[in-house]
Amino acid sequence: MRKLKNKTANKIKSINSNQNRRDNSGWFLGLFAVLFVMMIGRAFLVGGAPVIGMNGAINTSRPVVLNFSDVLRRADDIQTMEVRGNAAHGVLKDGTKYTATITYDPELLTKISESGASVSIDASRGFADILGTWFPIVLGLFFIWWIFRGMRGGAGGLGRSLVSQNPTKITTGKPGTTFKDVAGIDSEKQELAEVVDFLKNKDKYQSVGARVPRGVLLSGEPGTGKTLLARAIAGEANVPFFATSGSDFSGIIVGLGVAKIKEMFEMAKRNAPCILFIDEIDAIGQRRSAHSFNDQDREQTLNQLLIEMDGFANNTGIIVIGATNRPDMLDSALLRPGRFDRQVHIELPDMAGRNEILNLYAGRVKIDKDVNLHDVARGTTGFSGADLENLLNEAALHAVRNGRKEISPIDIDEARDKIIMGPRKLRKMRPEDIKLTAYHEAGHAFVSMMYSDITDPIHKATIIPRGRALGMVQHLPIDDKVSMTLAEVRANLSIALAGRSAEELFFGADKITTGAESDIAMATRLARYSITTAGLSTKLGLAAINQVSSIGTRGALENASDKTAELVDAEIRSWLDTAHQDATKLLTKNRKTVEKLANELLTRETLTGEEIHKIVFGTTQKPTATKKTSKKTNAKSKE
């Protein structure tokens, strides 16, 4: 470790020396600024001195400006003329000073002299003339000196100089992060534990002849902990950690990326065994093609990275860890064995993982004992580790704004709603819009209660506007689902279209609004997926119509004829119409209950799942209703 520190100190000393040399060259910029100001000042300080006219009065006006034709026409009026290049100045016979621009012509000057004027020619060179001649020469010599100064270190000296002016972010020694600071991705940690064991016990693997992966590629959604996991590997192994990002290797100067790749791997070789982490590696590792001739510098940078990772040099002890959100964009040469041998995809945490992450971050804030982190994990499906950390931070900020010293369940709900839907909107709405929103959300909530045995339970319903939404009904899943049954799909379609059904039932078909836009879009996506991809339609059968293309997107209707496309459209419409009819029947049969639910929303703005259950079902007995379990089963209930 002492040897590592000495090398690091020498590195810092060298960088400081280069910095001093760059600072000393600042005198040239100062000299240039002074000379420039002097030239500008000389041009503006040339003014007209007082002139004594023929009547003896003092003429304080500036010299008159004569053009070439004026000089020819008024040659007899000129008393004196002093010529310097193409510029002339002097005094007219009436005492007026003048300046003129003429063509240096001996015949012209002879004519003016014969008319009685005193003509003199100044062939000396002034300060501005000398500066204009020598300044570009000195500037060019200085630039050549600067180039040779950067090349004194060898062939890569200039590149090293440019690298030193744009250094990479480097962390040496042992990072403070360990596997204890990483939660919710246990399987990924086990996958990378072998890398840590190699760095600690390299001889054990070499004695068997095993080759530890040269590189590990971490991929996953943003915020899933790729950078945190890389730092934890270095912290567990107690080895130097070199960190940079893919954008650090791009610049306006051609060859800068190649020089920086060389510089970083040379530092890693001097401190092996170590970890070299490149975040957002897709910035330099994008797939090469025959049409990428306009980006040759990036390809050269990628080529240098390929050579350094697995070229002629033996970089034993250097493990490269790359992180990206788009592994499909990376070049195949970068992903082959010998470079990134192992690819670890980090999924979004499941419910158990979210619970672990929340418990980890909860130790850093003050949380009230009434907060149930398991319920918080249930209500944050699709949240990454970074999202969960931000959730607790937003809850802490909300608690402080409201004068609380601990995070309460109200703060958690407010933070979650803010992240999912956006901040609360203090917009002034018309009474009729508020009433329509209440009935819309009451329709969603009621139909959700009717299908509560096969769908996720309701957490709350609210008509408080947030973001683009005027209200919402929020569900909390009991556990993580990996698939949906046909009954769940049809129930969710009815729930999604229940808001529009409520608008039609209580306000009339001509009073429906655009507020159901997101509901219709979600229902259409679910129906299309179920029919064309999941094979849940008896009319379409098990044929997958939408196939994922090479770039990860879906076409409108791939692998389908025009007749099949028409059948798909008709089937989607049939599913949506059936769901809309089912929701309308449920709301019609329970009109008074839905009205009561809407009035409670108008009065209290927000209702919890327990309060909705009590309003809909009462305290002991549910209303009579037959749950829909298939397409042919009609849900029934009574008021």
Shared-domain flag, residues 219 and 306: yes
Going by their DSSP bridges, the two strands 87-92 and 97-101 should be labelled as: antiparallel
Residue 625 lies in a domain: yes
What average pLDDT does range 39-59 have in this prediction? 43
Positions annotated as catalytic residues are 441
Shared-domain flag, residues 222 and 289: yes
Residue 60 lies in a domain: yes
Best CA proximity match to 412, nearest among 378, 385, 456, 455? 378
Shared-domain flag, residues 25 and 74: no
Q: How far is residue 491's CA from residue 474's CA, in Å, rounded to a whole number?
A: 16
Domain containing residue 111: 47-129
Best CA proximity match to 164, nearest among 274, 259, 276? 259
Shared-domain flag, residues 571 and 501: yes
- Are the beta carbons of 182 and 228 closer than 8 angstroms? yes
Residue 58 lies in a domain: yes
Structure token pair of residue 156: 């890569």
What average pLDDT does range 29-56 have in this prediction? 48
Q: How far is residue 470's CA from residue 465's CA, in Å, rounded to a whole number?
A: 4
Chain segment 297-348, per-residue pLDDT in tens? 778 888 888 888 876 565 567 888 999 988 888 888 888 888 888 888 998 8
- Are the beta carbons of 324 and 282 closer than 8 angstroms? yes
Residue 229 lies in a domain: yes
Shared-domain flag, residues 407 and 554: no
Residue 208 lies in a domain: yes
**Cβ atoms within 10 Å, residue 484:** 18
What average pLDDT does range 32-54 have in this prediction? 47
Domain total in the chain: 5
Q: How far is residue 599's CA from residue 611's CA, in Å, rounded to a whole number?
A: 13
Q: How far is residue 199's CA from residue 212's CA, in Å, rounded to a whole number?
A: 9
What average pLDDT does range 10-32 have in this prediction? 47
- CB proximity list for 514: less than 8 A, separation 6 or greater: none
Shared-domain flag, residues 373 and 490: no
Shared-domain flag, residues 299 and 198: yes
Structure token pair of residue 253: 């100067």
Predicted pLDDT at 131: 66
Chain segment 554-569, per-residue pLDDT in tens? 555 666 778 888 899 9
Residue 406 lies in a domain: yes
CATH number of the domain at 610, please: 1.20.58.760
Shared-domain flag, residues 445 and 590: yes
Helices 591-604, 486-507: crossing angle, 10 deg rounding: 80
CATH number of the domain at 62, please: 3.30.720.210
Domain end marker among 382, 399, 421: 421
What average pLDDT does range 79-91 have in this prediction? 79
Going by their DSSP bridges, the two strands 636-637 and 625-626 should be labelled as: antiparallel
Residue 134 lies in a domain: no
Q: How far is residue 444's CA from residue 502's CA, in Å, rounded to a whole number?
A: 8
Q: How far is residue 336's CA from residue 624's CA, in Å, rounded to a whole number?
A: 62
Q: How far is residue 388's CA from residue 225's CA, in Å, rounded to a whole number?
A: 12
Shared-domain flag, residues 557 and 438: yes
Q: Which has the higher per-residue pLDDT, 534 or 102?
A: 534
Domain end marker among 346, 376, 405: 346
- Are the beta carbons of 32 and 40 closer than 8 angstroms? no
> Among the listed ranges 8-17, 360-369, 606-615, which one has the minimum average pLDDT value?
8-17
Predicted pLDDT at 20: 46
- Are the beta carbons of 373 and 362 closer than 8 angstroms? yes
- CB proximity list for 322: less than 8 A, separation 6 or greater: 215, 216, 217, 218, 277, 278, 279, 281, 285, 340
Strand order in the sheet with 78-84: 64-66, 97-101, 87-92, 78-84, 118-121
Shared-domain flag, residues 208 and 310: yes
What does DSSP assign to residue 168?
A: P
Shared-domain flag, residues 308 and 296: yes
Shared-domain flag, residues 416 and 505: no
In Å, what is the CA distance from 259 to each residue of 132, 135, 167, 266, 283?
Answer: 37, 33, 11, 11, 16
Predicted pLDDT at 317: 74
Alpha-carbon dihedral angle through residues 321, 325, 331, 335, given to the nearest 10 degrees: 40
Domain end marker among 369, 391, 421: 421
Q: Which has the higher per-residue pLDDT, 589 or 163?
A: 589
- Are the beta carbons of 62 and 48 closer than 8 angstroms? yes
Q: How far is residue 249's CA from residue 264's CA, in Å, rounded to a whole number?
A: 11
